[in-house]
Amino acid sequence: MKKILLVILFSFQGLLLIAQNTDSAWFVNNYTKKEVMIPMRDGIKLFTSIYIPKDVTEQHPILMKRTPYSCSPYGEENYMQVWRSYEMAYARENYIIVTQDVRGRFMSEGEFVDVRPYIAMKKKPTDIDESTDTYDAIDWMIKNIANNNGNVGVKGISYPGFYSTMAAASNHPALKAVSPQAPVTDWFIGDDFHHNGAFFQMDGFNFYSVFGQPRPKPVKTFPKGFKQPIKDNYQFFLQAATLKNLSAMIGDSIKFWHEVQQHPNYDNWWKARNARNAIHNLKPAMLWVGGLFDAEDLWGAWNCYKTTKQKSPNSSNRLVMGPWSHGQWASNNGNYLGNIRFASNTSEWYQQNIEVPFFNYYLKNKGTADHIAGATIFFTGQNQWQNFESWPPKHIEEKTLFIASEGKLSFKESRSEKFAPRGSREKSYSEYISDPAHPVPYTEGVLQPRTREYMTDDQRFASYRPDVLCFSTDALTEDMTLAGAVTANLFVSTSGTDADFVVKLIDVFPEDFEYADSVKGNNKPYVMGGYQMPVRAEIMRGKYRNSFENPEPFIPNQVTPVNFSMPDVAHTFRKGHKIMIQIQSSWFPLVDRNPQRFMNIYQANKDDFSKAEIRVYYFGSAKTKFILPVLK
């Protein structure tokens, strides 16, 4: 039997290789590559790779990506390997495929500015931002690329997603459709660098030690990054001890890393870099795409879609959210993430049923986009796509989940109005010691790179720790589907003057749970009975509880409300499962450690870090609760 399976496997791989070789030959034989420098309004020229169909029987649309990650491979004789991905579908449709190095990156001229602020007011003739660069590029292409049909689309993932948002804001009349995917949007509130003011040091350090290196002249290759002397990320960042020490390691040349540390609060410097500033009166059809388990840019897709609804109410505005890690929708495999399985190839379904038809309709007038709903959302748990007119859905009932007692959650509010003051024998809280010298890991195991699977990783390892509070319901007697943002309303105290609060919403599987053999997984054995799947997890830096602009210290040992919303969820807790909430005060080394004293953490020294006694209250006037958006 094993031999038969191996024969089938090798046969399949062989057929796949033959198909790729056939597609590669077809692409090279049917496309001509041109490399040009496109002039901008201020005289700067941007390097652009253009793949033009040799077919002249009809005019062709232009599909463009603007990127800070390079147009490679360079050289008109070197072709990008379109045939290795679903984007071969665009080649088969004879799209003119364009990639452009943004200003100041790789082979383009000019100075690069991270998340360059959008100029919202009336621009002067030589004012530039990413929307004007896109406008000028489109204008040049329409006038200079032979046999184009006058229709342009733009798409991109992550940082190119940011440039896609800026492209939409250009409102060039030829720009008909834009798809920002996992778009970088607000690096202080919810994407990449910070979540609710808490600094995501691991991603920032590892990314900017490479990406942030200066480029005094055009280059074709990526620079080498920081060589980490300790492979275990937990130990490396723990021994680094402070952000000041990390800054010394990364060096003085990484400009943006150091700029970030000069702006510890949500000031005008950060606000100018909020991509939503560009979202108003958008003319192109918009398709916002994101992953429910995107570790980098989950926040942007949800919130840019919502901002477009508000500020561009007349635009064609659609949202797709699938069960994906960062960019997984563009891969060949959307069947699973880590140990969690989705019962179908969700990536392939999206590519074939949403993205390609979207651009075909708006750029080629081919087919229809009527089947693409206002919001196409995959619900984990039930493992099904659902279509909605808009998001969040109209038929939502808010249900409040209370901490009923130590370790217990209930949808019924306790009638007790007793509140036990500090030192009383009457218990009205759960507590733990948060020790920066022993922070709670973000996931289990010894790891060097930050994993993307941590967004769905089993949380039992955390539940065993004394500095993680766990509260759960009884087994559900019927399915419960959540669709929207979960709000955490905490009542807490700390013996320090600052603290972080990580809240995890978790689906606890029954002890006898197993996936069917027919449901494709990662082929790694794992005990799924009792699995604690994080549906959503988010951090709140406590000093920003009332204002991101003006942080406030905690008064030691005083009961204090800390309220925040978590990014939207789309998940069904099945009958027999339990809902769990975990609360902790570190998430390391994903997030930098809080010294647990009120200060500018970027300037903290090693001896500024100290233990704190954290309490979470749930009786009387200080009832910690969680507001769940239940789909009716």
- The domain 2-186+273-388 is placed in CATH, from the list 3.60.15.10, 3.30.10.20, 1.10.490.130, 3.40.50.1820, at 3.40.50.1820
pLDDT tens sequence across 323-335: 999 999 999 999 9
Of 345, 344, 346, 368, whose CA–CA distance to 356 is shortest?
368
Of 134, 143, 136, whose CA–CA distance to 162 is shortest?
134
Q: Is the pLDDT of residue 305 over 50?
A: yes
How far apart CA 108 and CA 124 sit, in angstroms, is: 23
How far apart CA 74 and CA 280 sit, in angstroms, is: 36
Question: Average pLDDT of the chain?
Answer: 94
175-181 and 285-291 beta bridge pairing: parallel
Cβ 298 vs Cβ 323: under 8 Å: no
Instruction: Give the pLDDT confidence score for residue 148 in this predicted structure.
Output: 98
Q: Is the pLDDT of residue 186 over 90?
A: yes
Could you tell me what percent of the chain has a pLDDT over 70? Answer: 95
Out of 16-30, 457-471, 591-605, which region has the weakest mean confidence (pLDDT)?
Answer: 16-30
500-508 and 469-472 beta bridge pairing: unpaired
Q: How confident is the model at residue 225 (pLDDT cuts 50, 70, 90)?
A: confident
Indicate the domain borders of the chain: 2-186+273-388, 194-270, 396-518+525-631
Instruction: Give the pLDDT confidence score for residue 122 in this predicted structure.
Output: 84
pLDDT tens sequence across 69-111: 999 999 999 999 999 999 999 999 999 999 999 999 999 999 9
Instruction: Give the pLDDT confidence score for residue 414 in this predicted structure.
Output: 74
Instruction: Give the pLDDT confidence score for residue 7 in this predicted structure.
Output: 38
469-472 and 578-584 beta bridge pairing: antiparallel
Query: Cα–Cα–Cα angle for 230, 236, 239, nearest 5°?
Result: 120
Q: Is the pLDDT of residue 416 over 70?
A: no
Q: How confident is the model at residue 11 (pLDDT cuts 50, 70, 90)?
A: very low
Separation of first and last alpha carbons in the chain: 48
Looking from the CA of 103 toward its CB, the CA atoms found within 13 Å total: 23
Instruction: Give the pLDDT confidence score for residue 6 in this predicted structure.
Output: 41
Name the burial class of residue 353, with classes exposed (0-12), middle (13-18) and buried (19+) by CB atoms within 10 angstroms of its CB: middle
Q: What is the CATH number of domain 194-270?
A: 1.10.3020.10
Name the helix (H) or strand (E) containing 8.
Answer: helix 2-30
How far apart CA 329 and CA 87 sit, in angstroms, is: 12
List Cβ neighbours of 151 (8 Å cut-off, separation of 6 or more): 61, 62, 174, 176, 362, 363, 364
Cβ 341 vs Cβ 521: under 8 Å: yes
How far apart CA 603 and CA 245 sit, in angstroms, is: 10
Q: Is the pLDDT of residue 3 over 80?
A: no
pLDDT tens sequence across 148-176: 999 999 999 999 999 999 999 999 999 99
pLDDT tens sequence across 438-459: 999 999 999 999 999 999 999 9
Q: Is the pLDDT of residue 425 over 60?
A: no
Q: How confident is the model at residue 4 (pLDDT cuts 50, 70, 90)?
A: very low
Q: What is the CATH number of domain 396-518+525-631?
A: 2.60.120.260
Give the mean model confidence (pLDDT) for residues 622-628.
97
How far apart CA 52 and CA 65 sit, in angstroms, is: 15
Residue entry with tokens 């799209």: 95
Residue entry with tokens 């900017």: 208
List Cβ neighbours of 627 (8 Å cut-off, separation of 6 or more): 398, 399, 400, 401, 486, 487, 489
At 301 the three-state DSSP class reads helix
How far apart CA 201 and CA 249 sit, in angstroms, is: 13
Q: What is the pTM of this model?
A: 0.95
How far apart CA 361 and CA 283 sit, in angstroms, is: 16
Instruction: Give the pLDDT confidence score for residue 18 in this predicted structure.
Output: 47
Cβ 414 vs Cβ 621: under 8 Å: no
Instruction: Give the pLDDT confidence score for residue 20 in this predicted structure.
Output: 59
Name the helix (H) or strand (E) containing 351.
Answer: none
Cβ 349 vs Cβ 376: under 8 Å: no
Q: How confident is the model at residue 581 (pLDDT cuts 50, 70, 90)?
A: very high
Name the helix (H) or strand (E) containing 343.
Answer: none
pLDDT tens sequence across 367-383: 999 999 999 999 999 99
Instruction: Give the pLDDT confidence score for residue 22 in this predicted structure.
Output: 87
Of 218, 296, 210, whose CA–CA distance to 257 is shortest?
210
Cβ 307 vs Cβ 279: under 8 Å: yes
Provide φ and ψ at 454, rounded to 5°. -60, -20
Q: Which amino acid is at 274?
A: N
Instruction: Give the pLDDT confidence score for residue 346 in this predicted structure.
Output: 98
Instruction: Give the pLDDT confidence score for residue 17 in this predicted structure.
Output: 45
Instruction: Give the pLDDT confidence score for residue 5 in this predicted structure.
Output: 39
Residue entry with tokens 């960019």: 327
How far apart CA 292 and CA 4 sit, in angstroms, is: 37
